[in-house]
Amino acid sequence: MFLSGHKFNKLVILFGILFILFIGCSRSPDEHWVQMFLEAQEAFEQAEKLPAAEQPKEFYRVATMFQSVIDQGVESGAIYYNLGNAWLRAEEPGRAIAAYYLAQRYLPLDPYIASNKQIALGNSVVSEPATPIIEHIFFWQNSIGCREKVIFSVLLAVTAFISGIIYYFVRYRWLRCLAVILLVFTLIAVCSTGYDWYRYEWTRHAVVAVENAVPRKGNSEQYEPVFTTPVPFGTVIVILDERNDWTRLHFSSGQDGWLPKNQIIEF
């Protein structure tokens, strides 16, 4: 059964206002940030021409240049991809892996990102965590970038809003049906986008940046190891808490453990 005309239009108008406010909060990079990115890209190309022995130090500098762009509030798959490449060439594979994971949030199906991440992992064998039920329901979740989900949600909301306004004046039943369908799809898209916000913004992730890390049951070397075998380099974990120079982490096995902060890279 459809909503009554008055209640339905109030709901559609509310969604329209919320999404107009939401999209108004987005920012695009200005010319200064674009120039910073181009300078970093040029420095990357120049670093490739240096003798092999000099490249790691220069690529470290290039990575900090890309990071400066990100610190200005400019985020994209391309910037994180270039940042990862710079860290990889600077012989900082842990930082490179973290950057590649960030790049995949925007470009989840890019084969170059996946390939370079595997190069950074080297011979390390990392077990993938079990797929949450919600990602089976939202089967598209890891195939569409975060930004595309936001844009699609906004477009659906605006279209539903316009359809509701038109229906308010012309009262065509098929238009009302279309607006309700669009509103349902908008709710689904918003939930999908909200899940990305939860797992990427609300939840803190990190990658193990050393070989054979040994998580412990407390925040010192005096505590017993959590696992019988070390955790491989490149393992992704969730940050739960911090205490002094140690971080409490949640592993895909369902267990929690502590590692020194200098053994992980947050992303």
Verify that 174 and 196 share a domain, yes or no.
Answer: yes
Q: Is residue 127 part of a domain?
A: no
- Among candidate residues 202, 229, 245, the one where a domain is terminated: 202
Higher pLDDT among residues 15 and 75, named by residue: 75
DSSP state of 129: P
117 has a pLDDT exceeding 80: yes
Domain interval for residue 112 = 31-121
21 has a pLDDT exceeding 60: no
Q: Is residue 57 part of a domain?
A: yes
146 has a pLDDT exceeding 70: yes
Alpha helices, H only, 25-140? 31-48, 55-71, 77-89, 93-106, 111-121, 133-137
The three-point CA angle 86-92-97 to 5° equals 80
Q: Model's pTM, two decimal places?
A: 0.83
pLDDT for the residue 17: 46
- Among candidate residues 121, 155, 174, the one where a domain is terminated: 121
222 has a pLDDT exceeding 80: yes
**What are the structure tokens assigned to 106, written together?**
């925007």
Q: Which phi and psi angles does 115 have, rounded to 5°?
A: -65, -45
